Amino acid sequence: MTQELTVENLFGVFDESAALLSRLLSIPYLEALGETAENLFHGDVIQEELNEMDEKRLQKLYSSAQLDRYSKEAIRKAFQLAILKGMKEHVQPNHQMTPDSIGLFIAYLLRKSMGKNPSFTLLDPTIGTGNLVATVLNEFDGKVEAYGVDVDDVLLKLAYAGANLLHHPITLYNQDALEPLLIDPVDVVVCDLPVGYYPNDARASSYKLKADSGHSYAHHLFIEQSLHHTKPGGQLFFIIPNGLFETPEAKKLQAFLTEEAYIEGVIQLPETLFKNKNAAKSILMIRKKAPGVKKPKEVLLAAMPSLTDKRATASIVQKIDRWFADYQKG
């Protein structure tokens, strides 16, 4: 059985059982998907309000899954496909998922930065459904202790259910991540920055990157909050809009980053990953200042080609490999 067919079959179990639970419990598909993932994790139907006949229908679906046959990546992809289906049915502007290719590329950058067998703590302050973190954790196979925060309880339930299915140790917090966090500083932050204005001016006023007037940029505040919760010498990977440093507040952001961290790299992602050119993004790679941490001789600047162009992609990867080798030599 091929990998693709395996993912499709497992997606079918997620989809059919979530659709059934959605009808039986009169709840949205995404909420039902979280419930069905919990059932698969526990190996039982845990919704007590269901009658015996409905429980048997679900049990039959779950027994066909046999999760132990699948790799973690197959489980993650199948669960992701079901989430994407639910998001299409109930479109909300903040319900977006970080593409797999970006998560895999961040995992590659982390590996180059931290070596072959790293053990570290990780925070995603906007974890959403958890796909970005799950993609990274699958690449490090149980050597990472992760934390995630999101204000959306439905998305966080999906992140929780997905982490259980993948047996990833993630501690989750359902709150506004720009409020005080009861999370110790971590070694690594990954964050697909939510772009827009932050409506809570009172909370924003406690940040250095608050706007001089009007609402502050949420994405600027998330950068500051993330640095606050990163250990000295820790590394941060932000997925940023390409125009991050071209806004009226950009000078303040640049001054803040110069004071608090070293910008290690800006890698422009392929435009083909996004709906249109205006939505295109880059990866901003920074390191929090600390004694003994040296500023890179040069910032890594790269533009990733279409991932279907294997020769051009290999050339850029070689450039990145050389940059890491030179940087680590000191």
In this structure, is residue 133 part of a structural domain?
yes
Total domains, the chain? 2
| Same domain (yes/no): 216, 164 | yes
| Same domain (yes/no): 11, 48 | yes
CATH number of the domain residue 49 falls in: 1.10.150.470
| Same domain (yes/no): 213, 232 | yes
CA distance 86 to 106: 26
The closest alpha carbon to 80, from 138, 124, 15, 22, belongs to 15
pLDDT of the residue at 4: 43
| Same domain (yes/no): 82, 127 | no
Residue type, 18: A
259-317 confidence digits (pLDDT tens): 999 999 999 999 888 877 888 899 999 999 999 999 999 999 999 988 788 899 999 99
In this structure, is residue 294 part of a structural domain?
yes
Residues contacting residue 289 through CB under 8 Å, at least 6 positions apart = 232, 233, 260, 261, 262
Percent of the chain with pLDDT over 90: 74
pLDDT of the residue at 111: 92
* Beta strand 144-150 pairing with 170-174: parallel
Whole-number mean pLDDT of the chain? Answer: 91
Is the pLDDT score of 93 beyond 70? no
| Same domain (yes/no): 38, 167 | no
| Same domain (yes/no): 106, 190 | yes
Measured in Å, how far apart are the chain's first and last C-alpha atoms?
Answer: 48
The closest alpha carbon to 197, from 249, 264, 129, belongs to 249
pLDDT of the residue at 299: 95
| Same domain (yes/no): 153, 34 | no
pLDDT of the residue at 143: 84
Identify whether the C-beta of residue 257 lies closer than 8 Å to the C-beta of residue 314. no
Half-sphere exposure of residue 203, counting CA atoms within 13 Å on the CB side?
A: 15
| Same domain (yes/no): 173, 314 | yes
Is the pLDDT score of 115 beyond 90? no
5-51 confidence digits (pLDDT tens): 579 989 999 999 999 999 999 999 999 999 999 999 998 999 988 99
60: containing domain: 3-89
In this structure, is residue 94 part of a structural domain?
no
Residue indicated by tokens 């422009």: 268
Q: 3-class DSSP state for residue 281?
A: strand
pLDDT of the residue at 330: 64
Q: Which of 47, 62, 89 is the last residue of a domain?
A: 89
Structure-block tokens of residue 202: 């009172």
Identify whether the C-beta of residue 127 lies closer than 8 Å to the C-beta of residue 148. yes
| Same domain (yes/no): 302, 263 | yes
Is the pLDDT score of 329 beyond 90? no
- Rg of the chain over all Cα atoms, to the nearest angstrom: 21
| E-strand stretches of 139-280 | 144-150, 170-174, 186-192, 197-198, 216-217, 230-241, 261-268
| Same domain (yes/no): 177, 120 | yes
pLDDT band (50, 70, 90) for residue 1? very low
pLDDT band (50, 70, 90) for residue 327? confident
CATH number of the domain residue 130 falls in: 3.40.50.150
Q: Which of 44, 70, 89 is the last residue of a domain?
A: 89
Give the residue-averaged pLDDT of 138-144.
Answer: 85
Identify whether the C-beta of residue 236 lies closer than 8 Å to the C-beta of residue 264. no
pLDDT band (50, 70, 90) for residue 3? very low
CA distance 68 to 51: 28
Structure-block tokens of residue 172: 């989750």
Q: How far is CA 212 from CA 46, 49, 223, 243, in A?
A: 51, 53, 17, 20
Identify whether the C-beta of residue 39 lies closer than 8 Å to the C-beta of residue 33. no
Is the pLDDT score of 124 beyond 60? yes
In this structure, is residue 95 part of a structural domain?
no
Percent of the chain with pLDDT over 70: 96
| Same domain (yes/no): 174, 112 | yes
| Same domain (yes/no): 124, 158 | yes
Structure-block tokens of residue 117: 């067998």
CA distance 293 to 207: 25
pLDDT of the residue at 306: 85
Q: Which of 29, 54, 89 is the last residue of a domain?
A: 89
Residue indicated by tokens 């993650």: 76
